[in-house]
Amino acid sequence: MRFIGILFLILVSSFAAFAQSGKPLAQNFTAVTMNGDDVDLEALRGKVVVLTFWSTRCQICHVEIPKMNRLAAQYKGKNIVFLAATMETPAKVEAYTKNNPFDFEILPNSFGLVLKYGDRDSSGNVTLGFPAYFIINQQGEIVQKSMGWNKIDTVTAQINQLLASK
């Protein structure tokens, strides 16, 4: 019974947060980067966050990563953070990045993030296409979610809009 009450409170507070702005709040997370640094989404409030989900086995990701590197370089020194979440281990990521460098923070072992941010099908299975891009505004709200090929232009437009509105 207590579990149902807690679940109800979480559900009600989620709806209340969504109703305030019409945009869903990004679920908070704490993750560890490849360098061993902690990343806490809540601590990034006030910044634009670009959260990308990718995999070393994703052929589209191989093409999109260099585009994301250029995008991260374009906004270097601005009030924006680029994060790349993958379910793969640090060893697998390290081997991959020797030939495919990232110019922003990689979050390995991020299966929990996939569970938080992925959609659910009618059977409750998690679905999340790679690459996936979540743009989180300065208030911690998800303002854009896109998946797949060649989304950099829409990501860039959303970033520009958010940075201009501040």
Q: Which of 2-16, 36-50, 53-67, 113-127 has the lowest mean pLDDT?
A: 2-16
CATH label of the domain that carries residue 154: 3.40.30.10
The pTM of the full predicted model, rounded to 2 decimals, is 0.83
Token pair of 106 as six digits: 């990689």
C-alpha 22/C-alpha 20 separation (Å) is 6
Question: DSSP secondary structure string, 57-112?
Answer: T-HHHHHHHHHHHHHHHHTTTSSEEEEEE-SS-HHHHHHHHTTS--SSEEE-S-HH
C-alpha 91/C-alpha 106 separation (Å) is 12
pLDDT digits (tens, 9 = 90+) for 10-28: 444 444 444 445 789 999 9
For residues 158 and 9, which has the higher predicted lDDT (pLDDT)?
Answer: 158
In a domain, 125, yes or no: yes
In a domain, 107, yes or no: yes
pLDDT digits (tens, 9 = 90+) for 122-160: 888 888 889 999 999 999 999 999 998 888 999 999 999
Parallel/antiparallel/unpaired status of strands 132-136 and 48-53: antiparallel
* Number of structural domains in the chain: 1
Q: Which domain holds residue 80?
A: 22-165
Q: What is the DSSP letter of 141?
A: B
pLDDT score, position 19? 43
Q: Which of 32-36, 49-53, 83-87, 117-121 has the lowest mean pLDDT?
A: 117-121
In a domain, 147, yes or no: yes
- The answer to whether 88 and 102 are in contact (CB under 8 A) is no
